[in-house]
Amino acid sequence: MLSNLSFSILILTLFTACSGKSNYTPKGISFEKEKKIPFIFTETKIDRVEHDVVKLSDGSIINRDGKLVSEPLEIKTILKDEVIYSQNKNLIAYVTRDNSIALFDIEQNRTIFKEKFNFIASIDRRLPKPFFDKNSILYFTFDGKIAIYSQKDKKIVKVLSIDNSENYSNVIDYKLSKNSLILLTHKKLMLIKDNYNTQLEIDLRGAIFRKDSFFAITKKGEIREYSYDLIMKRSIKFPFAYFISFGQVKDKLYLIESQGYIIELNENLKNYRVIQSELDDENCFFTNDKFICDEKIFRLPLSI
């Protein structure tokens, strides 16, 4: 894993040089219409899905480990609700809904830095949190940029353009491996490694990251396995499927389709089954062992 410092150095070095949905219809013997998903019913709905947490209608927040987390009262008071933030000791780095990035000092009780970027009407709230490094802070913005703020110089020292799309241009996920960085937007898959960077133009829903490879989920119902050098190893396509949430438990991938079908797929992308459920284009969030959807939860792996 790259250190925080090498993450900034890697980006600075390399960049200096450089839909509509159709109806999905299950086919074949894999379609298991009579199977019943063992839902746990709740009285809460999803207010907002973010990069690594889900915020529920009862005010609770759950992270990827499935644990309840809470925001300190001082952060709620200072930042209100429409922010994505990270805290490092007395400093809170945050991004607002109007696409401003800022730094607040709790000890001084004041904003010590703020800059506004272009407002984007259509955004994806899975924007990653600001990333603290020893000397810098990396901000992901809603208009598809990474801004590098120097704590020593107290100013932005570099702005990197990742995606220039007019809508949904912000980074939605990223992965640091031993010597590379993978970035995802709705339209782009980018690799930054050593002395070069490369990118693929793909309509993406997101990714499932693993140790030695990752699965890219496309808006056209395709699951592609890539190495961390962006070499595609294998793929499978479910025509007209639009996946709203996905994750991996043990050797199985689980994907929820917008019409409520749940696909359980082996990690070799060969064997799968499709199960009909009571879900209906609901908000869903994957933790390490379950899906949380509006008023429903079901645990993984499925035992039916």
pLDDT tens digits, 17-54: 444 567 898 875 566 666 789 999 999 999 999 999 99
| pLDDT > 90 in the chain, percent | 75
Over residues 114-157, the pLDDT tens digits come to: 999 999 999 999 999 999 988 899 999 999 999 999 999 999 99
Over residues 172-216, the pLDDT tens digits come to: 999 987 788 899 999 999 998 887 789 999 999 999 999 999 999
Is there a cis peptide before residue 301, judged by omega within 30 degrees of 0? yes
- Give me the helices (H) in 80-149, please: none
More confident site: 145 or 7: 145
- Which pLDDT value is given to residue 18? 46
- Residue where the block lists tokens 């994907």: 255
Rounded-to-integer distance, Cα 99 and Cα 245, Å? 25
- Which pLDDT value is given to residue 8? 56
Contact 49/285 with Cβ under 8 angstroms? yes
Rounded-to-integer distance, Cα 292 and Cα 62, Å? 9
The confidence band for 3, taking pLDDT boundaries of 50, 70 and 90, is low
| pLDDT > 70 in the chain, percent | 90
The average confidence (pLDDT) of the chain is 89
Contact 91/74 with Cβ under 8 angstroms? no
pTM listed for this prediction: 0.89
Phi, psi of 219 (to 5 degrees): -75, -5
- Which pLDDT value is given to residue 209? 97
Q: How many Cα atoms sit within 13 Å of 216 on the Cβ side?
A: 31
* Residue 1, amino acid: M
- As beta bridge partners, residue 188 has 201
Q: For the chain, which domains are there?
A: 1-68+172-304 (2.40.128.630), 82-165 (2.40.10.480)
Closest CA to 221 of 234, 233, 237: 237
Over residues 58-82, the pLDDT tens digits come to: 989 999 999 999 887 777 777 876 7
Contact 240/249 with Cβ under 8 angstroms? no
Rounded-to-integer distance, Cα 35 and Cα 38, Å? 9
Least confident of 190-199, 239-248, 250-259, 276-285: 190-199
**How far does the chain reach from its first CA to its final CA, in angstroms?**
37
- Which pLDDT value is given to residue 79? 80
